[in-house]
Structure 1
Amino acid sequence: MITVVGTGTGAPLPPEAAAALDGAGLVVGARRHLAAAAPPDTAARIVLGPLAPALDAIERHLEKAAKGGREGDAAAAGRGQVVVLASGDPGFFGIVRALAERFGAGRLTVHPAVSSVATAFARAGLTWDDAVVVSAHGRDLRTAVNVCRAHPKVAVLTGPGSGPAELGAALARSGDRVLVVASALGSDAGAASGERVERVTPAEAAVRDWGRAVNVVLCLDEPRVLSPVRTVAGAAPGPSRWALAEDEFTHRDSMITKFEVRALALARLGPRLGDHVWDIGAGSGSVAVECARFGAAVTAVEKTGDGVERVRANAAAHGVDVSVVHGAAPAVLSGLPDPDAVFVGGGGRDLPAVVTACARRARRSVVVAMAALDRVPAVREALVAAGLDCGGVLLQSSRLAPLPGDVTRLAATNPVFLLWGVRPPVRSDVRSDEGVAQ
């Protein structure tokens, strides 16, 4: 049997966990957890570093104990109990997943403590049923950054190279965000290296050396951290409807992506939580707003000043965050973080160059809407040249429209070409020239 004990937030071990520790033949944990728990001298100890060697050692220990039981060696069998010490709630982004995959959930007894996320929000005086929790520990920080840009209440589990400084640097342009950095949670607050909970701006976080004691960083849009009562925890549910009618946006002279076009564009863009989407030539920002409603972080690029204000007004009206860049593509794109998906609207002379710049940097897809037939070959060539698989349609729709006498006609909308390029998946079965398995 493997007993997993959550610790590290200041609370004493529950009696069952303490009893398991006293009878353990092997105790595994970080150096600080082993020092705090003080396992019995009769127990073997493994300081947790790389996970794979620790799992192998646990397996050897269990096999040795099982062999002793079969051979009637009661002492060896009695030493078969394994205790794994972990931080907070080990079932929340913790070691329980790896142990269950290796040994089976039925062999685990888990004693969770209060998680670092719950503790950090408690220190901040906030509920967290409406928070989005994202791990940057051993993972690419960009997902955490995108979630922080899109949502008002986010907890980021940090790690080496993905700490408060790196997060702050990536969010430095998000002037409306506050970071709450929680370090050494559960330690004596009066000690020199004790618990610290500090509120800083992203820019302030970026220039600090935070050391190795950071547990979690909360990223808050403070005017929006108090949400209504929730039924489902975590990120807000996705929108109940999309491809909104044009009259749900402020726009100029019908210069807006029509809802039929927008519906297919959204299907090809696939905006989702953790993504970053560009809306180039945003105009009213209808595509940008719809992508943000699906949970993506969105950057809208618009070259006209009045267009910039319309995008901001539409984002505010729909309660979403959209970062608006005033300028013309492709010149302004170099300073933007790489996107997962890009929507390009309009059709000026620079369209092929804009599509080329977007296609080179998009991780997943580029979608282009245009009314001019003459632009289609060059756009398709730009998508294919960037290594994307290209498809497209000509959308021609007719809407029901009333006529006098309580009758209905079909009113045709202007036809629009929609082209898209999708980056092919990377093959995972390719081996190196030396024949080493990947």
Structure 2
Amino acid sequence: MTRMEPATPMDPGVGVTVVGLDAAGAPPHPALAPVLATAGLVVGAARHLAAVPVPAGADTVTLGPLAPALHCLADAVAARVPAVVLASGDPGLFGIVRRLRAAGLPLRVVPAVSSVAAAFARAGLPWDGAAVVTAHGRDLRPALNACRALPLVAVLTAPGAGAAELGAGLIGWPRRLLVAEHLGTDAERIHDVTPVQAATGTWADPHVVLSRTDAEPAVLADAASPQASADAVPDPVTAGGMRVDNQPAAAPAGGWALPEIRYAHRDSMITKSEVRALVVARLRPRLGRLVWDVGAGSGSVGIECALLGAAVLAVEQDPEAGATIRANATAHAVTVRLVTGRAPEALAGLPEPDAVFVGGGGADVLAAVVGRRPERVVLTLAALDRVAPAVGLLRAAGYTVEGSQLSAARLADLPGGSIRLAATNPVVVLTGERQCPT
């Protein structure tokens, strides 16, 4: 085996050196000065260029649109002119490193303490199990839904997608938000607030938001249903096998489409495992998405969506069924927000879903659901006379509809050691998909 020698960490003759400036307020990396001294090109935001001793003979590019900087960096690399890019904190964490690599530039990276690490340090919190997501230059909803689903999330924010917007979206979820403004500067401020306080506050940019909860109940009771379990949440490292980068969640260790015996239920009122497997697949749950489970019953569909990383809101009119949902969510160590009430009235004012499972209710419930325009609607029907009206309603609302009848026969033992097949009730599964603009 050939022994690999360590690379010289700050060799200015190799491509582009990306240097992070410490979000915690520490001095720049000690090797930055000699690298800058030989640099022919220095790229960075105005505040970064003002914070370091740029040599008089070096060209500078102040970051705004990235394309001009990429062009200048490519020219510098071609001419073997040493180039330095200044960035905040750890530039490999939702930072400029990804864009520079995509442009094919050879890089060396010297990270500093990231704003996320600094925020957790200010709060005195461990963060080895935290999810880190970004709302900077992106739709806020995936980051917001990660905060709804997980007990500890750090959010990189942007103007219009910050603490106020996150707080407004988390009203109804018992969260505390730590808002860290201007980390590492004389203007640094740390605020520990409720979602309501965050929603009504005014926050200085840049800021980082930590969403957290202490001893969170497995089911979050709606105001109409105040009773909730006091069980603590699981370790977020292992809960549902989530990844933390806005990508789809990994499969949960215990699987999904679990046998009915894994759930408490009343009078066999539960979506059977064979049907549940298809329903969950059609809902496409993952971290960053919000799933409604309407007519939740035992909660099995919503719970399995939560196991796959989605934020879940269960709507159930029967208080006894609500208690069952709480018990099942606790047993499977997932978080579900429960709204006790009769649909469609109970759907008013709920946050916008990405996907909805309709496990109960009539045409008025389905009409209310499609009126909210989720990307996907999945429903199960045992009565054939309800299939055509449901298909018509979905198509009239602009959904492409697929349908399947599932009829399973399970092995059952007979006296004397023989085996027979026992049929389960056939069920029609309808999936409506709305084409969303790209």
* Smaller-chain TM-score bracket: 0.7 to 0.9
Distance in structure 2 (CA, Å) of the matches to 1:221 and 1:154: 10
Distance in structure 2 (CA, Å) of the matches to 1:213 and 1:272: 28
The aligned counterpart of 1:331 is 345
Alignment-mate amino acid for residue 171 of structure 1: L
Match of 2:62 among 37, 47, 52: 47
Q: Could you tell me whether the CA contact under 8 Å between 2:22 and 2:114 is conserved in 1?
A: no
Q: Secondary structure at the match of 2:251?
A: coil
Identity across matched positions, percent = 55
The aligned counterpart of 1:341 is 355
The aligned counterpart of 1:245 is 259
Report the Cα offset of residue 228 of structure 1.
8.6
1:111-146 deviation line (CA, Å, top 9, x unaligned): 111211122222223332221111001111111110
Distance in structure 1 (CA, Å) of the matches to 2:35 and 2:242: 33
Q: Could you tell me whether the CA contact under 8 Å between 2:16 and 2:77 is conserved in 1?
A: no
The aligned counterpart of 2:52 is 37
The aligned counterpart of 1:142 is 141
Report the Cα offset of residue 225 of structure 1.
7.7
Structure 1 148/36 Cα, relative in aligned 2: closer, same or farther at 3 Å? same
Q: Could you tell me whether the CA contact under 8 Å between 1:129 and 1:234 is conserved in 2?
A: no
Q: Could you tell me whether the CA contact under 8 Å between 1:278 and 1:288 is conserved in 2?
A: yes
Q: Which runs of 4+ in 1 moved over 6 A?
A: 228-233
Match of 1:181 among 179, 182, 185: 179
Determine whether 1:219 maps to 2:211: yes
Structure 1 406/322 Cα, relative in aligned 2: closer, same or farther at 3 Å? same
Report the Cα offset of residue 362 of structure 1.
4.2
Count, aligned residues: 401
5+ residue gaps in structure 2?
A: 1-14, 216-231
Determine whether 1:197 maps to 2:190: yes
1:182-223 deviation line (CA, Å, top 9, x unaligned): 222223xxx4x1x33322111111111111131x21111222
Distance in structure 1 (CA, Å) of the matches to 2:353 and 2:236: 32
Q: Secondary structure at the match of 1:312?
A: helix
Q: Secondary structure at the match of 1:361?
A: coil
The aligned counterpart of 2:226 is none
Q: Could you tell me whether the CA contact under 8 Å between 1:129 and 1:230 is conserved in 2?
A: no
Structure 1 162/380 Cα, relative in aligned 2: closer, same or farther at 3 Å? same
Distance in structure 1 (CA, Å) of the matches to 2:335 and 2:234: 16
Match of 1:292 among 306, 312, 316: 306
Alignment-mate amino acid for residue 208 of structure 1: G
Match of 1:397 among 379, 401, 408: 408
Report the Cα offset of residue 41 of structure 1.
2.4
Report the Cα offset of residue 358 of structure 1.
2.1
The within-5 A match list for 1:261-340 is 261-340=275-354
Report the Cα offset of residue 373 of structure 1.
1.0
Judging by fraction of residues, say which structure has more helix. Answer: 1
Structure 1 229/55 Cα, relative in aligned 2: closer, same or farther at 3 Å? closer
5+ residue gaps in structure 1?
A: 67-76, 429-438
Alignment-mate amino acid for residue 117 of structure 1: V
1:391-429 deviation line (CA, Å, top 9, x unaligned): 111111121122232332222211111111122364x6x
Distance in structure 2 (CA, Å) of the matches to 1:248 and 1:110: 49
The within-5 A match list for 1:66-81 is 66=79, 80-81=81-82
Alignment-mate amino acid for residue 317 of structure 1: A
1:356-414 deviation line (CA, Å, top 9, x unaligned): 33234344311110111110100111121122221111111121122232332222211
Distance in structure 1 (CA, Å) of the matches to 2:242 and 2:436: 33
Structure 1 51/5 Cα, relative in aligned 2: closer, same or farther at 3 Å? same
Question: Which stretch of the first structure deviates more once superposed, 113-122 or 403-412?
Answer: 403-412
Alignment-mate amino acid for residue 147 of structure 1: A
The aligned counterpart of 1:432 is none
- Give me the CA root mean square deviation: 2.3
Alignment-mate amino acid for residue 161 of structure 1: G
1:145-181 deviation line (CA, Å, top 9, x unaligned): 1001111111100111111111111112112x11122
Report the Cα offset of residue 28 of structure 1.
1.7
Distance in structure 2 (CA, Å) of the matches to 1:307 and 1:228: 27
Q: Secondary structure at the match of 1:358?
A: helix
